[in-house]
Amino acid sequence: MTNPLYDQLFGKHAGAATPFLTLQDGSVITHAAFLGQTAQIANALSAAGLQPGDRLAAQVEKSAEALALYAACVQAGIVFLPLNTAYTVDELTYFIENSGAAMVVCDAKAESDLTPIASRLGAQIETLNADGSGSLTDQAQDLPTTFATVPRSADDLAAFLYTSGTTGRSKGAMLTQGNLLSNAQVLAEHWRFTDTDVLLHALPIFHTHGLFVATNITLIAGGSMIFLPKFDLDQVITLLPQASSLMGVPTFYTRLLDDPRFTRDLTQHMRLFVSGSAPLLAETHIRFEERTGHRILERYGMTETNMNTSNPYDGDRRAGTVGFPLPGVELKITDPETGQTLPQGEVGQIEVRGANVFKGYWQMPEKTAAELRADGFFITGDLGRIDADGYVHIVGRNKDLIISGGYNIYPKEIELILDDQPGVLESAVIGVPHKDFGETVLGLIVPEPGASPDLDAIATATAASLARFKHPRKLVLVDALPRNTMGKVQKNVLRDTYRDTFAPA
């Protein structure tokens, strides 16, 4: 038996002296050197007693060594659990306990806080710092640079990713070798990645986008990465001429567009810009194309499935859409109540099926049964529609649906109109409690820098475009919208903040 994920992502580069990672300081790590360090870490994990199928929880800063830890887990058959570096000790306690992690790897600064938790749960603890130092690499440095790759099948677990948990406890999505490998293969081909590509990598690697999309695609194509610890505007602009592709969240692109150094000349050699993890405003699409001549390619994915759809590489990349289902992915729009497929053009819940869809939620059989149908279709929780040309539009999350006086209201429809008004940078529409209607529409508006939007004029323009029951009952100016680390607007936070807006005095 082979180890499909390791063989296809890493093993085929064994002995290759070609560049793999260019680090912030300009130093270069070849594929061969990276795999040597991977094997050393795999040997260290094995020497610590970790067995295939054990879980390893890692809350570490982005570094070449952190990436090698992921590769070592794949090679040793250990289930890799990357954790957001912003998580608190209380949050980490849940993840470590729920996953049954056999080892916790953390920054040395967090070791004293996490050691009692790890000890109580029977987990070992090791350190790995942003500069690559730590007890794990200390143990690994004198070990062999080869490791006997552990046999695994496509159905064996490769990773856990915990959902963001905006309602209730986070769920551990179980991702198999086959899930990760199939998605990397499809995306590399669909987006035309080759061994000549250089990806400017400024995303975190505790998330699907930075680890299982950006990194895995580069590995399977045999390309290389400029590996930055985080998005730094000056560094990205300086290094962009050395890259051929960039993957980012919308804030990457808005920050670039706000800098006069970001020009058509700077980007003329680039092959591809990809955006995801949060919706990209149509205005950003337009400004980006006007400035650079490039159209950003927007796609749609999630923790449980990796990528589901993509705008075309060749063809019309339409602002406000996430393109078509990827090869091998089935997508349908269904009635949330009945599960029946809806006619084209109607809004309903998005369901997907394919080799990319996860195995289920760790130790949550009821949640798995509720969201993963027996026929393999996963109920994403997103609301969307498919237009006459087959493009998929994301309307919002099912839990963000506003039901006012018995009418269904989709926030995205209202947000698109608000975003188009003079002086408006972006907006968020939420439902808040109302004594007569159950809930009603509240619009939150972020002004453009230096602008003072006319709320009365915006209300009038909105009223002219929407049925009366969709009109925001109130518009509120705010400095910014709360976002998570991947740039998604946290509407649950907004609902909590503004829930008493229409409460009786």
Instruction: Say whether 290 sits in a helix, a strand or coil.
Output: helix
Q: Which residues contact 92 (CB under 8 A, 6 or more apart)?
A: 57, 59, 83, 114, 117
Residue ranges per structural domain of the chain? 4-15+30-190, 231-397, 402-498
Which H or E run includes 287? helix 282-292
Three-state secondary structure of 248-277: ECHHHHHHHHCCCCCCHHHHCCCCEEEECC
Per-residue pLDDT at 166 exceeds 70: no
CATH topology of domain 4-15+30-190: Rossmann fold (3.40.50)
Give the full edge-to-edge strand order of the sheet including 172-176.
124-127, 103-106, 55-59, 79-82, 157-162, 172-176, 360-361
pLDDT > 90: percent of the chain: 78
Q: Which amino acid is at 158?
A: A
Q: How confident is the model at residue 167 (pLDDT cuts 50, 70, 90)?
A: very low
Residue 320, pLDDT above cutoff 90: no
The CATH number assigned to the domain with range 231-397 reads 3.40.50.12780
The 3 state secondary structure assigned to 68-126 is HHHHHHHHHCCEEEECCCCCCHHHHHHHHHHHCCCEEEECHHHHHHHHHHHHHCCCEEE
pLDDT tier for residue 230 given thresholds of 50, 70 and 90: very high
164 has a pLDDT exceeding 70: no
| Cα separation, 76 vs 82, whole angstroms | 16
pLDDT beyond 70 at 223? yes
Q: What is the pLDDT of residue 131?
A: 96
Q: Which two tokens stand for residue 212?
A: 């299982």
pLDDT at site 413: 81
pLDDT at 258: 92
Instruction: Tell me whether the CATH fold assigned to 231-397 matches the one assigned to 402-498.
Output: no
User: What per-residue confidence (pLDDT) applies to 266?
Assistant: 97
Closest CA to 83 of 98, 102, 54, 61: 61
% of residues, the chain, pLDDT over 70:
98
Q: Of residues 403 and 44, which shows the higher confidence score?
A: 44
C-alpha torsion angle, residues 27, 33, 37, 42 (rounded to 10): 150
Which pLDDT belongs to residue 51? 97
- Mean pLDDT estimate for the chain: 93
pLDDT tens digits for range 55-79? 999 999 999 999 999 999 999 999 9
pTM of the model: 0.86
Indicate whether 183 pLDDT > 50. yes
Can you tell me the distance from the alpha carbon of 70 to that of 78, in angstroms, rounded to the nearest whole number? 9
pLDDT in tens, 468-480: 888 999 999 999 9
What is the CATH architecture of 402-498?
2-Layer Sandwich (3.30)
Whether the Cβ atoms of residue 178 and residue 4 lie closer than 8 Å to each other: yes
More confident residue, 396 or 310: 310
- pLDDT number for residue 277: 80
Amino acid at 100: G
What is the mean predicted confidence (pLDDT) over 175-193? 98
pLDDT tens sequence across 40-58: 999 999 999 999 999 999 9
CA pair distance 418, 445, nearest whole angstrom:
8
Can you say whether the dihedral through the CA atoms of 399, 403, 409, 412 is positive or negative?
negative
Closest by Cα among 128, 19, 122 to 72:
128
Mean pLDDT of 321-330: 97
Task: Identify the three-state secondary structure at position 8.
Answer: helix
pLDDT-wise least confident of 51-65, 141-155, 392-406: 392-406
